[in-house]
Chains A and B, each alone.
Chain A
Amino acid sequence: MNSIDVFKRPGVRDILAVAAAIGASIIAAPAGAVDEHEVVLQADLRGVAVDSPLASFTEGGLGLLRFDAANDGAQVGRVLLDVSGPIGETFRYTLTTSGTDDGDRHALDVTEAYLDWRPYPTNAWRWRARVGAFYAPISLENRAIGWQSVYSLSPSAINTWIGEEARTIGAEIATTWLGAHSDHDFDVTLVGAAYRWNDPFGVLLFQRGWGIHDRQSPLFGELPRMFVRDPDNRTLEFFHEIDDRTGYYVGAEIKWTNDWLVRALHYDNLGDVMDASAKEPTWRTRFDALGARIELPHDVTLLTQGMLGDTEGVPRNGRGMFLVEFWAYYALVSQRYGQHRYTARFDRMYTDTERGAQFFESAQNARAWTLAYQFDLNEHWQFALEAVRIEGSLAQRADLGLAPHATERQLQLAVRWTR
């Protein structure tokens, strides 16, 4: 079966239609009846200036930023419609849709859609279960509605990749020991999930390396393929089930007095790479992620996350196997000062082909600095200015006749209206 067929399966479009109907009925219903439902609409417009010799990956290039020199001027950052609310006493639904106006398959598409069950705690152990499509608890930056970073426009390389290729389409269960309710200073959460429809996970990291931007891949979207070997296969799609195997993650989080937080997660999609019959072969991707967030006096936040893992794949001809190791980390400092927020972040990104570089060697060694300033005029208007500079090498650029080493710079001014 080719990947286009997946979108023609009965059910997928029905989900979208139902989701749209839920959204429409909530918006149309009289205000009193929807008191507990929350509808968030955001329009994010950007002024963009880019200094880079490379075309953006969104155009099929090997640039690591969302925009390239051809995009200078006004751009759509994101149109976001997020609807959430209760279903009965202990269930909640969340539906996040967004559009990025960059030629993706649907003008508005789903980034998350899930049902969340939170029974009331009857003792210090509180349980929570989710089913649907949602983000694994990895990012410590993407804390705002729509999985947006609170600290900058573009999240770190690690969380950029999560937004691009990772989505839990399955079920997750978590339990939190509510220490504060028994006179302790800390909460402990344990989480585990089983999921499918994430078999191509790793292909973008293999082709393009780590990037830094805020474009989240929607569930039914696509990106242009950077290395086209087959003229019938010019796109990358991320959320498919190919090998009929279920992946998992397990994680833990500890929070002290709400000011210190440490999060760890082990992820393995258990992909069966030997099934090379699919249009997009399965990638076996596994990693460990570790992060900490510290809230200091004067509204200063320190954040760091690291990730270490590998991804394995087999080319469509079934011959040979690649193994790409990857790691990345970042450190971020941010201060909120009244309506102002100032953020600086350093990112370090690395990939290397350990085995089977038969087409090209996937190898990246790069550093990035991000400086951001945000101004919240009121609850509806936010202005943000962000500069990103990525410098480093990406070996596979040579395969396309480009210089492996490059410096890319991007300046963005965002005007965000939220209601």
Chain B
Amino acid sequence: MDQIDQRFVPFVLPVRTGTAVTFPNSDSIAHQVYSFSPSKRFELGLYRGRPYPPVVFDKPGIVVLGCNIHDKMIGYVYVTDAPEFGKTDEQGMWRSGALGAGHYEVEVWSPLLARDEPSLARAIELTDAKPGELEVHLTRALRPEPRPQRDAKIRDY
């Protein structure tokens, strides 16, 4: 999980429970990363350049990342036990080739979902005969994504 132009990059990082994640800082200014989310509380004291040892995300859940110096920086580590998971591409597509026949629960999540968006959990039945397809439509507009702050001179007084 990198830090570029005062943003966490990627904005959302999905990982399997137990994954170790490093937090490099590619900005020329120092950041101070923390999370007080119940599934992972941690702090990385002010740093730039050399990263800290990786942080192990050992419990499933959504971990919200912040920088104690730059409040507008926000990022998410999505820690999951699901057998298959991933991030959608620019077109909103995600493919998995690893699933056999069976009944599956599919859950779609984004930090940008509107607060009143109805549940995006769906069920899908897969058979060996043909690939399964599931379309999930949002009923509310997504919230805006954080913008990059390319001007390193900004201190926000």
Contacts and interface: CB of A to CB of B under 8 A. Distances in A.
A118 B144 contact: no
Q: Is the interface of B mostly helix, strand, loop or mixed?
A: loop
A120 B43 contact: yes
A363 B34 CA distance: 52
Given A178-B66, A295-B147, A86 B29 contact: no
A35 B49 contact: yes
A169 to B, nearest CB: 16
Interface string A137-179: 1010011110110100000000000000000000000001010
Given A142-B157, A176-B71, A180-B74, A92 B46 contact: yes
A2 interface: no
A123 B41 CA distance: 10
A121 interface: yes
A145 B66 contact: no
Given A35-B47, A36-B48, A121 B29 contact: no
Nearest to B49: A35
A102 interface: no
Contact of A185 (B43, B49, B143): B143
Contacts of B155: 143-145
A40 B30 CA distance: 13
B135 interface: no
Contacts of A259: 144, 147
Contacts of B30: 36, 38, 85-86
B89 interface: no
B47 A181 contact: no
Contacts of B154: 143-145, 150
Given A35-B47, A86-B45, A143-B157, A258 B69 contact: no
B45 A258 contact: no
A123 B64 CA distance: 12
Nearest to A136: B157
Interface residues of A, number: 41
Nearest to A40: B153
Nearest to B45: A89
Contact of B36 (A121, A135, A145, A180): A121
Nearest to B35: A181
Interface in B58-77: 64, 66, 68-69, 71-72, 74
Nearest to A183: B115
B24 to A, nearest CB: 14
Contacts of B68: 118, 120-121, 126
B156 interface: yes
A147 B157 contact: yes
B29 A38 contact: yes
A258 B36 contact: no
Nearest to A122: B36
A22 to B, nearest CB: 17
B93 interface: no
A121 B151 CA distance: 26
Interface residues of B, number: 35
A150 B48 contact: no
Interface in B62-111: 64, 66, 68-69, 71-72, 74, 111
A379 interface: yes
B50 interface: yes
Nearest to B42: A120
Contacts of A90: 45
A187 interface: yes
Contacts of A142: 157
A233 interface: no
A379 B152 contact: yes
A142 B115 CA distance: 34
B34 A120 contact: yes
Nearest to A139: B157
A183 B156 CA distance: 23
A93 to B, nearest CB: 12
Residue from A90, A120, A139 whose CB has the most chain B CB atoms within 10 Å: A120
Nearest to A128: B68
A124 B34 CA distance: 12
Contacts of A365: none
Contact of B66 (A40, A181, A183): A181
Contacts of A122: 36, 41
Contacts of B147: 258-259, 295
A148 B157 CA distance: 10
A137 B47 contact: no
A246 interface: no
Given A36-B46, A120-B34, A124-B36, 13 more contacts: A35-B50, A85-B30, A86-B45, A89-B45, A118-B32, A120-B43, A183-B115, A185-B143, A187-B71, A257-B144, A259-B144, A295-B147, A379-B28
29 contacts: A35-B48, A36-B48, A38-B30, A86-B45, A90-B45, A92-B69, A118-B68, A118-B69, A120-B34, A120-B68, A121-B34, A121-B68, A122-B41, A123-B36, A124-B36, A126-B68, A137-B157, A142-B157, A143-B155, A143-B156, A143-B157, A150-B153, A150-B154, A178-B66, A180-B66, A181-B37, A181-B64, A379-B28, A418-B153
What 4 A-B pairs are tightest by C-beta distance, nearest first? A86-B46, A144-B153, A258-B72, A120-B43
